[in-house]
Structure 1
């Protein structure tokens, strides 16, 4: 059985120093939204819940239909609320560029993982129930949503997260040169397990929606 990720594989590839434009179709995600330091317990609990339910859903798919798939990478949106901004849920496009000067406890995030077809909400709910014995604090914070990100620019960053600034600036400069502008929230896709990689070997796909 071929990997069910093949049709969206191009969305999860990038080259260091190169910016690619991609069209991201509607995809089903498991998501947890929160606030605070990404090194704090809330984000760690969200990541643990996402990996647990994703593996449970893929195992359930194999058990029920004999289909073998791979769990997709961890992803996250990052932003913060600018003072005076009217709608806290409206994306602040320029927010991430100034995050280094913002108290990390004020960072807002949405950790998430794509659930490729034929995984659906019903299978994910069964996976949630089967995972309750693990007593995961963020399990009930999980929600499932089909989200279309649309036209995006993305590039690969290799190295520590703290060094992403130059990569982000280069990505956004290419967007401007193309006659476009960034919209929406800063999006990171963690290729590999960030919990197990040395900082210098971290591979992060940085994606910005554009219009």
Structure 2
């Protein structure tokens, strides 16, 4: 049975539809950084996802090749995630998608070291004959956050975010957007196959205790 991060770490991937406070530990990811409207056809965001998934599946399918990664275990590729921000904006402004700056992420299994990552980049570059230099090994400890499961279109997220912020305030927390602390989304639905009203997105935002 392949290890499934969504099932094994439900606290982070399947939270309730009501907000809660969570502390997220350090994890390693594949990452591509960029900026601009994620909905732009053929834009930087769509290209970033192509790069991420190509590397992610090169690692997963390494079990079929000659190069064996030490400590490998079979697993389900974790869902796509994204960190979002805009210069001079507290949180995110959904009406200004062209101003988005983002880091697209796919979580890495614990056996993937930087050495294993480097091998995967060489392997996929040779196989695809494409430049994968934008993909990086990204270590990140998110820390204290408020989170919630959002059901519905992405453009309806502000209402969920407002409820999260209100909940956090009532629990004695305040927003903590600063360097390394971002609006975070985890995408549990395939937008190509799922109706907008049924999309599942985990939304997470950084908080700190009020002084």
SS at match of 2:185: strand
| Residue equivalent to 2:51 | 49
Number of residue pairs the alignment of both structures matches: 196
Contact 2:4 2:78 in 1 (8 A): no
> TM-score with structure 1 length normalisation?
0.84
SS in 1 for 2:138: strand
- Paired position in structure 1 for 2:152: 159
2:80 alignment counterpart = 74
Higher helix share: 1
Residue in 2 aligned with 1:144? 137
1:168 equivalent in structure 2 = 161
Instruction: Tell me if structure 2 keeps the 8 A contact 1:22–1:152.
Output: yes
Q: Does 2:208 correspond to 1:208?
A: no
Q: Where does structure 1 lack aligned partners over 5 or more consecutive residues?
A: 83-91
What is the deviation of 1:130? 1.6
Aligned CA-pair RMSD:
2.0
CA distance in 2 between partners of 1:29 and 1:181 (Å) = 27
Q: Distance in 1 between matches of 2:32 and 2:120?
A: 16
What secondary structure sits across from 2:174 in the alignment?
coil
Summarize the alignment of residues 48-197 of structure 1 with structure 2, pairs less than 5 Å apart.
48-60=50-62, 64=68, 67-82=73-88, 94-96=90-92, 98-100=93-95, 102=96, 104-132=97-125, 133-136=127-130, 139-183=132-176, 184-197=181-194
CA offsets 1:184-206 (integer angstroms, 9 cap, x no match):
31110001333432212210000
In the alignment, the residues of structure 1 paired with residue 64 and residue 11 of structure 2 have an alpha-carbon distance, to the nearest angstrom, of: 24
- Mapped partners of 2:72, 2:120: distance in 1: 16
Hey, what's the Cα distance between the residues in 2 that align with 1:146 and 1:158? 29
Q: Compute the displacement of 1:59 (Å).
A: 1.6
Q: Deviations over 1:4-43 (max 9, x none)?
A: 6365342111222x11222111100111110101012100
8 A contact 2:29–2:139 mirrored in 1 = yes
Partner of residue 89, structure 1 = none
Measure the CA separation in 2 of the matches of 1:196 and 1:51. Answer: 18
Cα gap change, 1:112/1:105 in structure 2, threshold over 3 Å: closer, same or farther?
same
